[in-house]
Amino acid sequence: MNQLALVTGATSGIGRAFAERLAADGYDLIVTGRREDRLAEFAAAHPEVKVRTVAADLSTDDGVATVAALCAAEPLTMLVNNAGVAHYMPLAQLPADKAAELVHVKVAAPTMLTRAAVAGMQERGAGRIVNVAGMIAFSGPADSSVMPRRAVYAGSLAYLVALSQTLSAELEGTGVGVQVLCPGVVATEFHERQGLDLSAVPRMSAADVVTASLRGFELGEVVTAPGVEDAGLLDAVFRADLAAFGGQGPELASRYR
């Protein structure tokens, strides 16, 4: 039986690059996204593998339920939670519907799709889950000079980091691998759709991001940061996290007395 991958947000950018790479590696695919025309175009361009297209809007409960049902029913080898929206703006200026859309797409959808897929992967003793986040997940301590402000977006990506790290520990020894993929600025349509012109900013290709992800699994990484040369920087962040977690006690800290 061929390997089977489900990729969300597969109509452009990193999702499209994942689908292209996995098709080239012989995976059968379930590709999802909002734009039916692009899904159909991708399927037509890859007759060498089986491609099932599913138009679904992951900002809606119905869209999440549709794709989650596939994750539960199909023998997935890989799940790539890539779908995303940005809505870069300060929280007070972020319309309620856009805040809800962002949380639904980047928090609720990856959670529910992963939940649906992971039980079957455990039963089969194999599987890989990729949650596409970004280096903005680590930008929380930045001061007000760092623009644009994007509290909800940064928070949603930080959630994916914590989810992936904790889930990886839960699944240790099951044969199921979990990765959170944290690229920096990537040359895709993503920022253009937010009205941001980053044409003058050096950007990584989506294909390189996918290469890093697949190599990251080989290296046993849970957090894969394609543009960070010194992996020790990430290790230092995680050691500090654990030190703070382990440094707590039942007594009120002296600075609060």
Contacts of 152 (CB under 8 A, 6+ apart): 87, 91, 94, 99, 102, 103
Catalytic residue among 27, 153, 159, 256: 153
Q: Are the beta carbons of 119 and 71 closer than 8 angstroms? A: no
Does the annotation mark 27 as catalytic?
no
- Residues assigned a catalytic role: 153
